[in-house]
Structure formats: structure tokens, C-alpha cells
Amino acid sequence: MFDLMQVLHAGNTNKNAFKALIAAEYSGVEVKLVQNFEMGVSNKTPEFLKMNPIGKVPVLETPEGPIFESNAIARYVTRSKADNPLFGSTLIDSAHIEQWIDFASMEVDANISKWLYPRFGFSVYLPPAEEAAIASLKRALGALSIHLASNTYLVGHSVTLADIILTCNLYSGFSRILTKSFTSEFPHVERYFWTMVNQPNFKKILGEVKQAETVPPVASKKPATQPKETKPKAKAEPKKEAKKEVEKQPAKVEAAEEEEAPKPKPKNPLDLLPPSKMVLDDWKRLYSNTKTNFREVAIKGFWDMYDPEGYSLWFCDYKYNEENTVSFVTMNKVGGFLQRMDLARKYAFGKMLVIGAEPPFKVKGLWLFRGQQIPQFVLDECYDMELYEWKKVDITDEAQKERVSQMIEDCEPFEGEPLLDAKCFK
Ligand SMILES: N[C@@H](CCC(=O)N[C@@H](CS)C(=O)NCC(=O)O)C(=O)O
């Protein structure tokens, strides 16, 4: 066991650095985070580049020499304590711990980063690449959720290094892009994540964790750069060992790797519209809770609640149905669209139908939006919008009204054809 000091170079919001700091808490190993680390400055000095020639953080300075790559650092910190249970006690447990560490890095972290960083403007934003990243992330979280349905921890019956690394990766996602509507598909992952971040050793480093409420909009076109860390802010804790050159700082929960402190959000123009008697959440609740007599209860309720002054209804029709030759690809495409509409959750309700018994499948939808127009921020932020023809519903036309009702209730056959899928945005 090495008692000598280990010094971690990184900003105090870096989730990769948190891995080692949390492992240190569990292991009773002393790791100090350097003070006043400045991203882009501290990691570009000749001294730093001697420790890590690629100039990235974190780097751990140890009495035996420097180490880079956060997983390697976390392993070293963990191994600093002999027979550390964080590494498991049998060969197979250790192998499983390594397995989940690789899974956390390659399947979870990599896909969260591919989704998040282009949105922050750190790399090029390409919608199909985003769709692929989300699909891969869902696949990973689906598998993880199955494992966690019957396991409290990834391996064995207590926290291991695999839990620490996975939780830090999930933390990056939950706090910045994985909204509740996204994570609710993976209930066991949710339960696991909140259990982990509330363990005292995690909480000490991560602080109070808050789930992202919206998917960050795509940043205005910026030249693609590497993610930057927030410049450390003034310390929130009084110094305990004032004379020490380096000192442990409380980890901040603010968006790690963002370039600037977030600016106050401008109000959404839809919040400035005259109040409406229709309460969107009431409708969504009625929709979700109606299990029988849907026509008499939910559809009737919808028309009773509908406020044509405060809201508008829209039909949409996919422009490229001839491309919809593979059922699951078509369904995934619609799923991706709904995912990207997350930013409009407070202002919209939607139904999307995939129609037909044979390919090519038709995709048609119905949307309810706050206001009389399709909200501009939706047109700006959600690229799928332009893949559809949009037509405002004329509710004085009974046929159109009936079509609205049929779409809400997934009426089958719809326009003479069976439904392959019906998805709801609520
Ligand atoms: N795989 C590396 C990732 C390191 C990394 O990408 N670090 C980012 C901050 S999270 C960085 O230092 N970026 C600065 C740069 O690219 O110059 C690890 O886990 O340590």
C-alpha cells in the first residue's frame, strides 16, 4: 500500500476525474485534486505534456510516475489499497468487473458523448450520427436494465470499481442529456443510478445530482473543438490544510466540460401567450389513464378540453414513404423523431402511426401544439420536421375532426390499412 500522496490534475467538474476520487473515498486512499486547474492552459504546459503527451485530463501524479486515462487512474487508486474489495475477491468477479468497466466505456460513455458533444458544438452535428448514437445507447441501457432487474450492483453484493465507473458515465448523461422521458424506458437503470449517486461516498464527490430537464439544443454552428472544462470556480469549502500546495475541492455538479457558465434561459415565447383553458397535462393524464371506452372517455374528453384559440392541431405526412421498406428501421425513425421532440414536451402532444401490412410503410401523424403555428423552436431544432408535409387541421370540417379522433385512438384499420405501430408523444 502506498501512503504517499497522489495528485489528480483535472478541473473540479470532470466526471472522468470523479472516478478516481470516488474510488479513493471507498478505498481510504488520499488523492488530492490540483487547485486552480485551467482547461486549455494547465494541460498544455510542457510539465503537463511530459505527464501526458496528448495533453488531456485527468492525469494522476504518483510517487512512481504519472498515469493518464481515467480508467487506468481509477484502477491504480483502487489497487493502492491491498485486497481492495472494489476489485472483487475471485477471479471471475474481477473479470466481470473488467467486463462492465469496458461496457461502461464503450457502450455507455461513448454513445452519450456522441449524442451530447455535437449538441454542445464540440464536434460536427450530423442527425443520422445522432440517431445511431441514441439507438446504440438504448441498446446498451436496455441490456443493462435487464441485468439490473435482478442485481443491485453490477457484480456481487457490494459496490465495485465497475459501479463507480459506470455511475460516473451515467452521471454525465443524466445530468446533461438523459431526460426522465428517455430514462424511464430503463427503470432498473434509473433505480440503480439514483441508488448509487446517493451513496455517501458518491455524494461527497458528486454533490446533489439533478436530472436534465431537456435535451440541449444544437449549438449554433461553431468550429468543432474538443470539449473544454469549466474553469474552476471559487471554492465552496474553507481550506482545511491551507498550506498544502494542492487541495481537494468539492466536486461541482454544474455541467462538466462546458465552456462557459450557463446563461439565464430566455423565456419560451409560448409561455407568453394568453393563458389557455386547456391544461395539456390534464389531457395527457386522461389519455394515459383511459384504459377502456376510449372513444367515450378520452376522445370525448379531448374535444371537451380542446381550446382552438390556445392550441392548434396538425396532420403530418412523411414525404419519403417509399424509403420505408424495413419495418424496424421505419419504427426506429419515428422513435428518433419523438426523442428529438423532447424539447417540446411542455407544449405538444403527438401521435405517430406507421401504417400498412407490407412495405413500403406510410408514416402519418397528428400533433397538438401550443399556439396557432408550429412553434418556431421546434422547426429550428428538430430536423425531422422538414421530412413531413404539415397541414393544419380545420376542426370545422367533421371529416378532419374524425380523422384526429381516429389517430388519437389508434383506430384500426386506419384509412383501410392495418397499423404496424402507433407511438405517442406525451
Ligand atoms: N479517455 C480519456 C478521455 C480524456 C478526455 O477526453 N479529456 C478531455 C476532458 S474530459 C480533455 O482533456 N480535453 C482537452 C483536450 O482535448 O485538449 C480518459 O478517460 O481519461
Residues 232 and 362 grouped into a single domain: no
Residues 257 and 351 grouped into a single domain: no
Amino acid identity for residue 9 in this structure: H
The count of structural domains within the chain is 2
CATH number, residue 318: 3.30.70.1010
Residues 313 and 398 grouped into a single domain: yes
Rounded Cα distance between 130 and 100, Å, is: 24
pLDDT at 249: 37
Helix, strand or coil, per DSSP, at residue 60: strand
Q: Quick one: how far is CA 54 from the chain centroid?
A: 28
Report whether residue 227 contacts ligand 1, using a CB cutoff of 6 Å: yes
pLDDT at 4: 66
The string of pLDDT tens digits covering residues 110-167 is 999 999 999 998 899 999 999 999 999 999 999 999 999 999 999 999 999 999 999 9
pLDDT at 260: 43
How many of the other CB atoms lie within 10 Å of CB of 139? 12
Report whether residue 55 contacts ligand 1, using a CB cutoff of 6 Å: yes
CA-wise closest residue to 115 among 105, 106, 126: 126
Residues 209 and 295 grouped into a single domain: no
Rounded Cα distance between 369 and 268, Å, is: 14
Residues 307 and 389 grouped into a single domain: yes
CA-wise closest residue to 22 among 173, 193, 204: 204
Protein residue with least CA distance to atom 12, ligand 1: 56
Residues 208 and 287 grouped into a single domain: no
Stretch (H or E) spanning 54:
none
Q: Counting atoms of ligand 1 from 1, which one is nearest the CA of 73? A: 20
- Name the domain boundary from 216, 238, 264: 264
Encode 348-378: b = buried (16+ Cβ within 10 Å), e = exposed. Answer: bbbbbbbbbeeeebbbbbbbbbbbeebbeeb
Distances, alpha carbon 221 to alpha carbons 76, 255, 386, in Å? 40, 20, 19
Give 64-126 as a DSSP string. Answer: TEEEESHHHHHHHHHHTSTT-GGG-SSHHHHHHHHHHHHHIIIIIIHHHHHHHHHHHTSS---
The pairing of beta strand 59-62 with beta strand 6-9: antiparallel
Rounded Cα distance between 400 and 254, Å, is: 47
Residues in the chain: 426
Residues 234 and 356 grouped into a single domain: no
Residues 363 and 308 grouped into a single domain: yes
Whole-number Å distance, alpha carbon 293 to ligand 1 midpoint, is 55
Whole-number Å distance, alpha carbon 328 to ligand 1 midpoint, is 36
pLDDT at 129: 95
CA-wise closest residue to 390 among 313, 323, 335, 330: 313
Evaluated on CA atoms 336, 342, 344, 347, the torsion sign reads positive
Report whether residue 226 contacts ligand 1, using a CB cutoff of 6 Å: yes
Rounded Cα distance between 408 and 424, Å, is: 9
CATH number, residue 104: 1.20.1050.10
Instruction: Identify the domain containing residue 389 by its residue range.
Output: 271-425
| Mean per-residue pLDDT pooled into runs of 10, the chain (426 residues) | 77 96 97 94 96 97 97 98 96 98 98 96 92 97 96 96 98 97 94 96 95 90 44 36 38 39 72 94 95 94 97 96 88 89 94 95 97 94 90 97 97 94 95
Report whether residue 14 contacts ligand 1, using a CB cutoff of 6 Å: yes
Rounded Cα distance between 150 and 246, Å, is: 43
Rounded Cα distance between 335 and 425, Å, is: 10
Cα torsion at 333, 416, 411, 276 (round to 10°)?
70
Q: Counting atoms of ligand 1 from 1, which one is nearest the CA of 40? A: 17
The pairing of beta strand 31-33 with beta strand 6-9: parallel
